[in-house]
Amino acid sequence: MIDKKENRVLVVDDEASQRDLLKMVLTEEGYNAEVASSGEEAVQKVGDRFYNLVIMDMKMGGMGGLAALKEIKEISPAAQVLIVTAYASVDTAVEAMRSGALNYLTKPIDLEELRVQVEKTMQFSHLVAENESLKAQVSGAFQAQEIIGKSPRIMEIFETLRMVAPTEATVLILGESGTGKELVADAIHANSNRGQGPLVKVNCAALPDTLLESELFGHEKGSFTGAVARREGRFKLADRGTLFLDEIGEMSLLLQAKLLRVIQTKSFERVGGTETITADVRLVVATNRDLEKEVREGRFREDLFYRLNVVPVTLPPLRERREDIPILAEHFLKEIAERNGKLIRGFSPEAMDLMVRNRWKGNVRELQNVVERAVIMARGDVIQPGDLPGHISDDGAAPSGGIIPGRPLSDLEREAIISTLEMTGGNRTEAAQLLGISRRTLQYKLKEFKIQ
């Protein structure tokens, strides 16, 4: 589908042998590969013509990879950059990705990984080129997944996901209900090397203990009433893929012990069976409980917690990233309007304002439902406050009124701070955000007005 001849790659390394090896491999793969022997030369070449992809060593004499990366992204934002770094310097990798690198390879370079990464990056590059409107989203959309967001909290999560998805690491996804945990699990799988393999999901809260055990590990015929035939478990079905254990916090201590053993030995037996079964599975787990608290209170095994908590990803509640509300709302509006065949252009400023201020206890899922309802209810082609469910206007919105001409501004300021803090249940970060001031300024004003 993609004509690799049109794919220009620039290999940047001050070490000739490495440079030539990469060029040879890429040329064999059908790419149009060129080389540069320093950061300076790379910057110059990128200035002269377009490269879809730049593969660059971080540690070079002269200007160095990081500085070159920054310049390259400035000259040619559409050029994708893969950086090459020594195994030990994950910090450098993180910094490089902050500066715009798409991904990183560790030394010594595994040629198979190189092929996969280059192929992926090329596809990404073409996707970007094909759809100019994607440009605005590239920073938001994690490799074509439907995770919408541009707040710093979400950007941080994208960064973690980019780093961790292609690895084998167990990921623990934390967050309130409706914050997008399952979406993140999907993205991890899709962006992993197991993306072509199965993604098997098990909701640990949906089944009683004994059934969950047989669901996970399978059972032999006759092992319990109703076991009329042998059945493979989800672990086996996820072989060479990803197993997503949702609501892991609901798992009984007994089953937690069994799960721990499976993680340690990478093998298990079916319920009622003796045959040892192995499965090559990458684990992704999620819960809306505070697992550390569950551990402290004896409801979750500490040893299992440590096994699962390799890479924690904590999804912030929507009210802590209000700047994402408009783009999420627009995204859902477009999708839902299309599905319902309704022509709706957008939200009125008043309606959007109410949504941005709402508390969103149910997070993104609630927002999605509210938009869906609004689309169905809307009379005109713009969604008005009246199209939103009643609780959006009274539950969360900042109270208004009491503004009497002639009252000292400081009084109004004080009242605004107090009522906003009441609304956020005392959460100062959130209150500061709503008031449009920094946390520090809020802190200062609390002192000034002697508010407890």
Ligand X SMILES: Nc1ncnc2c1ncn2[C@@H]1O[C@H](COP(=O)(O)OP(=O)(O)OP(=O)(O)O)[C@@H](O)[C@H]1O
Could you say which of Mg ion, ligand X, none residue 83 binds, taking C-beta under 5 to 8 angstroms by partner kind?
Answer: none
Q: Tell me if 382 sits within 8 A of 348, measured CB to CB.
A: yes
Question: Which of 29, 34, 119, 182 is close enough to bind ligand X by CB under 6 A?
Answer: 182
Residue 355 contact partner, candidates ligand X, Mg ion, none, CB within 5 to 8 A by sort of partner: none
Q: How many Cα atoms within 13 Å fall on the side-chain side of residue 63?
A: 20
Compute CA distances 146 → 55, 98, 237, 331, whole Å: 27, 21, 26, 10
Two tokens, residue 41? 């030369």
Question: Binder to ligand X among 175, 241, 316, 317 (CB under 6 A)?
Answer: 175
Q: Does residue 178 interact with ligand X by CB under 6 A?
A: yes
* Cα–Cα nearest to 75, from 103, 50, 40, 111: 50
In 10 A of CB 417, how many CB atoms?
Answer: 21
CA–CA distance, 357 with 394 (Å, rounded to integer): 10
Q: Does 148 bind ligand X (CB under 6 A)?
A: yes
Instruction: Draw the binding track, 317-356, toward ligand X (x: CB under 6 A; -: no contact).
Output: -----------x----------------------------
Closest CA to 11 of 49, 46, 37: 37
Window of 55-63, 175-183, 234-242, 274-282 that interacts with ligand X by CB under 6 A: 175-183
Stretch of 144-152, 275-283, 292-300, 390-398 lying at the interface with ligand X (CB under 6 A): 144-152
- Segment contacting ligand X by CB under 6 A, of 73-81, 109-117, 170-178, 219-227: 170-178
What does the alpha-carbon distance between residue 229 and residue 220 come to, in Å, rounded to a whole number? 7
What is the total residue count of the chain? 452
320 lines the binding site for Mg ion (CB under 5 A): no
Q: Is 179 in the site for ligand X (CB under 6 A)?
A: yes
CB atoms near residue 8 (< 10 Å): 19
233 vs 249, beta carbon nearer ligand X? 249
Question: Binding to ligand X (CB under 6 A): which residues in 73-132?
Answer: none
**Binding-site partner at residue 249 among Mg ion, ligand X, none, CB < 5 to 8 Å by type:** none
Residues 380 and 447: their CA atoms lie apart, in Å, by 47
Contact indicator for 67, 39 with CB cutoff of 8 Å: yes
381 Rama class: left (phi>0) / alpha (psi -120 to 50) / beta:
alpha
Distance of closest approach, residue 315 Cβ to ligand X, in angstroms: 7
The region of 31-39, 59-67, 178-186, 419-427 touching ligand X under the rule CB under 6 A is 178-186
Stretch that binds ligand X, among 103-111, 179-187, 391-399, 437-445 (CB under 6 A): 179-187
Per partner kind, with CB cut-offs from 5 to 8 A, the member of ligand X, Mg ion, none near residue 171 is none
Supply the minimum distance, in Å, between the C-beta of residue 145 and ligand X.
9
CB contact at 8 A, 432 and 438: yes
Distance CA(171)–CA(35), nearest Å, equals: 37
Q: Which is nearer to Mg ion, 140 or 178 (CB)?
A: 178
Q: How far apart are CA 117 and CA 2, in angstroms?
A: 15
Give the residue, chosen from 119, 182, 292, 413, that forms a contact with Mg ion under the rule CB under 5 A. 182
- The answer to the question of residue 174 lying near ligand X (CB under 6 A) is no
Token pair belonging to 318: 């929507």
Work out how close the CB of 101 gets to ligand X at its nearest, in angstroms, rounded to a whole number.
Answer: 23
Return the amino acid letter for 220: E
Indicate whether 183 belongs to the interface with ligand X (CB under 6 A).
yes
Contact between 163 and ligand X per CB under 6 A: no
Q: Which of 326, 306, 309, 310 shows the shortest CA–CA distance to 318?
A: 326
In whole angstroms, the minimum distance from the beta carbon of 173 to ligand X comes to 8
Residues of the shown chain interacting with ligand X in the complex, contacts defined by CB under 6 A: 146-149, 175, 177-183, 288, 328, 364-365, 368
